[in-house]
Amino acid sequence: MLVKICGLRRKVDIEYANELKPDFIGFVFCLNKTRTVTPKEALELKKELNPNIKAVGVFRNNTIDVVREAVSLKAIDMIQLHGGEDDDFIKEIRSFTDMPIIRAYKDSEYADYLLFDNDDPGKGQMFDWSKIQNHKPFFLAGGITLDNLSEAKKLNPYCIDVSSSVETDGFKDYNKMKEFIRGCRDE
């Protein structure tokens, strides 16, 4: 089972990731979110990241220029669209990169993966899993904890994506990250 730890914003978060080796980490570029980083801050963090761990840029109703900046700086390896971005927006991204794109909530012929999550991500609220209908590999997020991880795995997601459930007081917690990754991989 692949694992994504989202919302990394401190050098120590990268150190935790390098030791624990999730498959993906997420840099949040959304405005007005507590875990937000700029493309330049993400680049500095990515320089410290193990190259085997893919950095996903999480965008939610950002301008195309913010996406373009993160891509051109090579601060990210994948793009996650988590807002009202439509197919025209995705086609514009495709005009300057062939990076894999994760699209939240609805399918798109231009996206490589789907993401099922809450409308207000990063709050640890559970997504209604009965709404999952797809034909593409998908990331599953939204209120996944060690308590419901075994049920989440039964849905056969491509990747389990967490943020707040591996935090203490709003910051990534090494031990929670370790236990969650271990649970995803049945170690």
Report pTM: 0.92
Q: What percent of the chain has pLDDT over 70?
A: 91
Q: What is the pLDDT of residues 128-144, one digit of tens each?
A: 677 777 668 899 998 89
* Cβ atoms within 10 Å, residue 94: 14
What residues does 17 pair with on adjacent strands? none
Domain residues for the domain of 64 are: 2-185
* Distance separating alpha carbons of residues 47 and 40, to the nearest angstrom: 11
Per-residue pLDDT band at 119 (split at 50, 70, 90): low
Q: Please, are residues 48 and 12 in contact by the beta-carbon 8 Å criterion?
A: no
CATH of the domain at 171: 3.20.20.70
Per-residue pLDDT band at 121 (split at 50, 70, 90): low
- Measured in residues, the chain has a length of 187
3-state DSSP helix/strand/coil percent for the chain, to nearest 5? 30, 20, 45
Q: What is the pLDDT of residues 39-83, one digit of tens each?
A: 999 999 999 999 999 999 999 999 999 999 999 999 999 999 998
**Which helix (H) or strand (E) segment is 88 a member of?**
helix 87-94
How many domains, in total, are found in the chain? 1
Q: Please, are residues 138 and 113 in contact by the beta-carbon 8 Å criterion?
A: yes
